[in-house]
Structure 1
Amino acid sequence: MIKWLRNIGPGTLIAAAFIGPGTVTLCTIAGVQFGFNLLWALTLSIIATIVLQDMAARIGIITNKGLVEVIKENIPSSFLRKLVLILIISAVIVGNGAYEAGNISGASLGISAVLGQKFSRFYPLIIGTIAFGLLFIGNYKVLERILILLVLLMSISFILAAVLTKPNISELIKNAFIPTFPDQSLLTIIGLIGTTVVPYNLFLHASIAKEKWQMKEDVSIARKDTIISVILGGLVSMAILISAAAIGTGSVSNIIDLAKALEPVYGSSAKYLLGVGLFAAGITSAITAPLAAAYVANSCFGWNAGMKDVRFRLSWSVILVIGVVFSTLKFAPIEIIKFAQIANGILLPLIGMLILWIVNKSSVLGTYINGWFQNILSVLIILITVVLGLKSILKVIELL
């Protein structure tokens, strides 16, 4: 246990990345509209995320390379290699720039819940400055420890809020494992899974895992880190849904509305609990999204740059500035987000298939290739991501 505690880190960053304001809002809406009925979608998301992230981390540790580097080396066709790289850059870098505004806006909303609206126009700039400072330090260990603290703060806030609602435990267990499909719930199910199984997290995990661990024997420690961290992140998502389900129907569209709805029953503590949780969720994602984009750019262009390299810093700075500007101006970059959704809808199953192909190549991973059970799980998950990707694309082009 002491050895594991010393090695904890990369998995927690992945949990920090997928529990952002978008996930918080979607879980809130799912709970208000469908009660506990969609908890099973989060259980499925946890399993899928563990399987995919474990493979990505294993590739990073065994090869000591970023995921993009390994993909480039193993695609023989020059045309296909360039096509994949263009798609990765488009989906991860451009997409993260668009979604970064949501991360910063979410963190700002959390501050507003605690400190009030008086200086709200300055909150995005404050969040951006904090994220810039942490990223500029360029020290992975410092960044890791700060994010772990923020994730713990977020977890305590949301889980405590769920406990306060005193949910029916037997109902929770039943809905967490038995799938149901209430009317009009399909897009919400897709959203719950899609906000947890995130393509850019695969690139991020491979890159930070190779920095954290250099020994092949560390794969088992990395797997424990992934499993525990992703389950914790999934429990946070479930806690938000459970809290929202407690109020039944109502005009709730985000976590702050949920805090207001719970306030008559649980007092002003609900506002502060959920506000602090949303702030932590927003700022962790506001850090990890630019970081992931920088790692992808680093691998795509073959820079082999460290975190203090000017090119690396410039990459995450661009994403961060876009996010701050969009958030400050209250500008919703609809067209960019639509493009990002289409690209991600294609990217996730594509990257999933490429990762599955690579983790079955003994020439790359040696004895650390997938076993038969891992392959069965992986194939099922990739099939699900194909369906989700198609649905996401159809939704964006307004054919669904």
Structure 2
Amino acid sequence: MDIGRRARSIAMVRQLGPGLVTGAADDDPSGIATYSQAGAQFGFGLLWTLVLTYPLMCAVQLVSAHIGRVTGHGLAKNMGDILPRWLVTSLIALLFIANTINIGADIAAMGDAAELVVGAGGHIFTVAFAIGSLLLQMFVPYRRYAAFLKWLTLVLFAYVALVFMVHVDWPAAAKGLVWPVIAGTSGITTVVAIFGTTISPYLFFWQSSQEAEEVATSADARPLVDAPEQAPHEYSRMRLDTFGGMAISNLVAIAIMIGTAATLNAAGKTDISTAADAAQALRPVAGQFAFLLFALGIIGTGLLAVPVLAGSAAYAVGEARNWKIGLEHKPWEAVGFYSVIGVATVLGIVIDWSPIDPIKALFWSAVINGVVAVPIMAAMMIVVARHSAMGRFTATRWLLFFGWAATFVMAVAALAMLVF
């Protein structure tokens, strides 16, 4: 590769940031469990869902990014400008509850995966992972921490590697990608779970707040409503970042589903409840190395997702309460913001040690996420179309079309989740 092409490649990688981390955090341990269950139970039959969700999640995450970069504020602040305060407070409270349950399930999965690898100490690993994540958010400078999260996304390629280590019926996989199949009530429930884990409210808040944080921490960056000359470059960057991040997210989800379909479903092992169950079941079917890749991937994705879950809740609560927010501040400079991160993480640990069934907890967090996502997405679409908020940078017709399409799909999914 010549110097010019190498420089362009490096520049392209450097443009990846909030969208890349957001997409990678979507493949958290609870998401891995959902995709593993779909592959183990239905083989290649539900791969089409991940093709369908790609343009929808790109649209909604791009709307989130645009709102943050154009206004210089996150979703909660912008929602508060158009919705009644009581409604915004209620939505954020439900977001906090769902995120806390998800944190508990994710760190429990990380602890279980570490115990599978080491042989003991699941609860100890769980606490260590949670505390380590909390300390990183509190005491590592934002720029360094954001770079750490970006590099951590590389762990996702463990699942892509898994696909090339097992025998895959590629014609059947290709058919599953393009031929929609839903088998009975359990198939409908799994489809709803895939939509719920792929398009989640905490991802909206995180990407929007990270765009706003980029504005706050960069000496040259300003909200686009105040610096329209920056728009062409920033819009190009956001599109590359979001399309790339969501592509990586969906490709990894597809790899997980193909890998578990080719191994667990082919071997008749269809009863998978958690990501750790999937890793354990892979050991006798796909071998020790495949098992290690899967288990270590759970730990890596958890380290990536837990700060996104806790951080998105803190941004939402802090913006709604007009607190000083942002990871660029020291803990004593933004006490309320970091208190929310700490409380969400500690409650996650408590959930892991409690008698609460983590599978039922994850189900109810998915229900809450699915229901809460609909009014939040509708509010986002109203904000991104308003000249009073976005100035001349309101959404294009195509972005509005796909954004509202995603909102409609999530409304149908939420209704189906409650019915089935």
| TM-score, structure 2 normalization | 0.86
Aligned match of 1:378: 403
Aligned match of 2:344: 319
Asked if the contact 2:57–2:406 (Cα under 8 Å) also holds between the matched residues in 1, the reply is no
Aligned match of 2:298: 278
Q: Secondary structure at the match of 1:369?
A: coil
Residue 290 (structure 1) aligned with residue 310 (structure 2):
yes
Asked if the contact 2:74–2:209 (Cα under 8 Å) also holds between the matched residues in 1, the reply is yes
Aligned match of 1:185: 187
Which AA in structure 2 matches 1:294? A
Counterparts of 1:251 and 1:361, CA distance in 2: 48
Aligned 1:8-27 pairs, distance under 5 A: 8-27=16-35
Which AA in structure 2 matches 1:354? A
Counterparts of 2:359 and 2:108, CA distance in 1: 15
Aligned 1:218-233 pairs, distance under 5 A: 218-233=234-249
Asked if the contact 2:95–2:372 (Cα under 8 Å) also holds between the matched residues in 1, the reply is no
Aligned match of 1:367: 392
Aligned match of 1:175: 176
The Cα offsets for residues 53-82 of structure 1, whole Å up to 9 and x where unpaired, read as 00010010000011111111234xxxxx12
Asked if the contact 1:16–1:147 (Cα under 8 Å) also holds between the matched residues in 2, the reply is no
User: Matched residues, percent identical?
Assistant: 23
Structure 1 pair 374–305 and aligned structure 2 pair: CA distance change class (3 A): closer
Aligned match of 2:132: 130
Say which is worse superposed, 60-69 or 280-289, in terms of deviation: 280-289
Aligned match of 1:78: none
Deviation, structure 1 residue 311: 1.4
The Cα offsets for residues 173-216 of structure 1, whole Å up to 9 and x where unpaired, read as 33223322123300000001110100111111111012225343
Asked if the contact 1:42–1:237 (Cα under 8 Å) also holds between the matched residues in 2, the reply is yes
Aligned match of 1:397: none
Deviation, structure 1 residue 273: 0.6
Q: Which sections of structure 1, spanning at least 5 residues, go unmatched?
A: 76-80, 395-399
Residue 164 (structure 1) aligned with residue 175 (structure 2):
no
Aligned match of 1:102: 105
Say which is worse superposed, 340-349 or 228-237, in terms of deviation: 340-349
Structure 1 pair 273–147 and aligned structure 2 pair: CA distance change class (3 A): same
Counterparts of 2:88 and 2:140, CA distance in 1: 26
| TM-score, structure 1 normalization | 0.91
Aligned match of 1:332: 357
The Cα offsets for residues 327-362 of structure 1, whole Å up to 9 and x where unpaired, read as 134533789767644543332111111111121223
Asked if the contact 1:21–1:281 (Cα under 8 Å) also holds between the matched residues in 2, the reply is yes
Aligned match of 2:225: none
Residue 92 (structure 1) aligned with residue 111 (structure 2):
no
Residue 59 (structure 1) aligned with residue 67 (structure 2):
yes
The Cα offsets for residues 299-327 of structure 1, whole Å up to 9 and x where unpaired, read as 11011333321111111000000011221
Aligned match of 1:216: 231
State how many pairs are aligned: 388
Asked if the contact 1:95–1:336 (Cα under 8 Å) also holds between the matched residues in 2, the reply is no
Asked if the contact 1:57–1:206 (Cα under 8 Å) also holds between the matched residues in 2, the reply is yes
Aligned match of 2:269: 250
Deviation, structure 1 residue 38: 0.3
Say which is worse superposed, 251-260 or 227-236, in terms of deviation: 251-260
Structure 1 pair 4–365 and aligned structure 2 pair: CA distance change class (3 A): farther
Q: Secondary structure at the match of 2:159?
A: helix
| Among candidates 36, 39, 42, match of residue 28 of structure 1 | 36
Asked if the contact 1:105–1:327 (Cα under 8 Å) also holds between the matched residues in 2, the reply is yes
Q: Which sections of structure 2, spanning at least 5 residues, go unmatched?
A: 1-8, 216-220, 222-229
Counterparts of 1:52 and 1:201, CA distance in 2: 10
Asked if the contact 1:256–1:271 (Cα under 8 Å) also holds between the matched residues in 2, the reply is no
Asked if the contact 1:112–1:120 (Cα under 8 Å) also holds between the matched residues in 2, the reply is yes
Deviation, structure 1 residue 223: 1.5
Asked if the contact 1:46–1:230 (Cα under 8 Å) also holds between the matched residues in 2, the reply is yes
Aligned match of 1:235: 251
Structure 1 pair 368–166 and aligned structure 2 pair: CA distance change class (3 A): farther
Counterparts of 2:271 and 2:179, CA distance in 1: 26
| Among candidates 142, 145, 164, match of residue 143 of structure 1 | 145
Counterparts of 2:298 and 2:359, CA distance in 1: 23
Deviation, structure 1 residue 381: 1.6
Asked if the contact 1:61–1:216 (Cα under 8 Å) also holds between the matched residues in 2, the reply is no
Say which is worse superposed, 363-372 or 123-132, in terms of deviation: 363-372
Q: Secondary structure at the match of 1:240?
A: helix
Which AA in structure 2 matches 1:246? A
Q: Secondary structure at the match of 1:54?
A: helix
Pairwise CA RMSD? 2.1
